[in-house]
Structures are given as C-alpha cells and as structure tokens.
Amino acid sequence: MKASIADRLAQAGHDWIAPVWDAPPNVHALSTSRNGGVSVGARASLDLGAAIPAQDAQHAAVLENRRRLVQFLPAAPVWISQVHAADVALVDHANLASVLSSPPTADALVTRAPGVVLGVRTADCLPVLFADRAGTVVATAHAGWRGLAAGILEATLRAMHAPPRDIVAWLGPAIGPQMFEVGRDVFAALCGQDPGAAAFFAPHREEKWLADLHGLARHRLGQAGIGTVAGSNHCTMTEAGRFFSWRRDKDTGRMATLIWLASGA
C-alpha cells in the first residue's frame, strides 16, 4: 500500500498540510508552508514564486523549490496568472501542454483528467479546494476579498458541472479574522451585494473593520449549496514561522495549495 500524503510529509519532516476533509479516496491534495526550500532573505525558504519562475529575482531558487514540491506530486502542477477576478480555466489532457507552458490568466482551475495537478499560490489570500463526492472532478481557487466579491467561488462551482450538494470544499491557510483590517471599500464590496456578509465584519476603529475571510468563504459556499466545508483555520499573518504573509512582510514568497485526481484504480 502506498503511503498517504500525510505520512510522506511526516517522513520528510515537512510541516506542510495534508487536508482532512470528506473528499473521496482518489482525490489527493496538499498545502505547502514557507519551510523546506532554498530561497533566502525575506522569501526564505520554500518560495514557489510567480506563475512563470523566470519573473522572480530568485528564479533559480524557485525552480529548485518547485522540484522539491514535485517529489510529492504525480506531475508538475498547472499554475495560473492570478488577478483577483472570477475567471476559471478548464484543464484536460488535450490542453495540458499549452497551459503548462503558458499559465492562463485566471483565479481558479478545474479538471476531470486524472493525474493533472492544479495549483494556486497564496500569501494571505484564501486557497479553496473542491471535489465532487464521486471523485470525477476537482478544482482549486484563489480567493482574496476581491475574488470573493467577484464571485470566484461560485464561478468555480459552475465550471465543475456537478450538483452543489455533491461537492465538498476545504479552506486553506489565510489571513485570520483578528488580523485582516479592511476599509469601507471592502465592506461595501461584499456587504453591498449580500447584507448577510456583515456578520463576518467586526467593527475595529473609525471606518475600519476586521474581516473573517474564512467565514465569508464558508458563508458564500453555503449560499451556493455546499453543505460540507472543512478547513485549516491557520492565520498566515500571525504564524510567521510557518507561513508567508504579504500583509505582514510585503516582500515575501508564495505558498501553494494543490489538488489532483489519482490515476489508475
């Protein structure tokens, strides 16, 4: 019997996360931390970089970090050029080579093709994984507040072409509700379209709120018909030794959250 992702991570001494959720056995996933790589300085150590590694000043380190990551995957991941919008890229074996060589501009990926690894990069924004209970389709989304307001979660669900009641979701590490201070623009963007979202904003100081990104995502997924949502609840900003955080450090690396359907029986 092959070792589980969790066992392999433990054997390697990594503090990466193997999601615990209600996905079927042929759905595999993991979420990296900032540890286990070779990047230096503010981006030490497992910075997985931009969609195209050559765009990073430390691109050689990013390439090595990605090589280390791929040791835990069945194939190199499909990445996307993330823009905080609601576009979803569909990946199959027919377009796999194209999207690997030229990452599409999108904030979510969906596939029904076994062995195709989907990845999003984050450093405070919320990574969200999806799978149907039959194990026929998986997806991953990059959901910051702009993406949530744009409808990235709902767009991902539509692209999966599966009944929402048959889909389970997992929320990865993101900035926590005690640290995510936002202004009226964020409050208005999310509460203007859904007054119920106000429950996930705590008044903080004049014209400022503390926003619960995980709670907002759970709320929107629930409204979309997703009844089973698990999550890590890790705060990227306060857990400095484990996670990158753009809001904490500005000059920082990127972590990855990945999902795939196992090939074969």
pLDDT in tens, 69-80: 999 999 999 999
Cα–Cα distances in Å, from 72 out to 3, 10, 12, 254, 260? 11, 12, 10, 18, 12
Distance CA 7, CA 109 (A): 27
Q: What residue type is 199 in one-letter code?
A: A
Structure tokens at 16: 């990466």
CA 173 to chain centre: 8
Give the model confidence (pLDDT) of 91-148 as tens digits: 999 999 999 999 999 999 999 999 999 999 999 999 999 999 999 999 999 999 999 9
Confidence at 1, pLDDT banded by 50, 70, 90 = low
152: pLDDT strictly greater than 70:
yes
The CATH number of 5-261 is which of 3.40.50.2300, 3.40.630.10, 2.40.30.10, 3.60.140.10?
Answer: 3.60.140.10
Confidence at 2, pLDDT banded by 50, 70, 90 = confident
**CA proximity to 30, closest of 12, 44, 20, 18:** 18
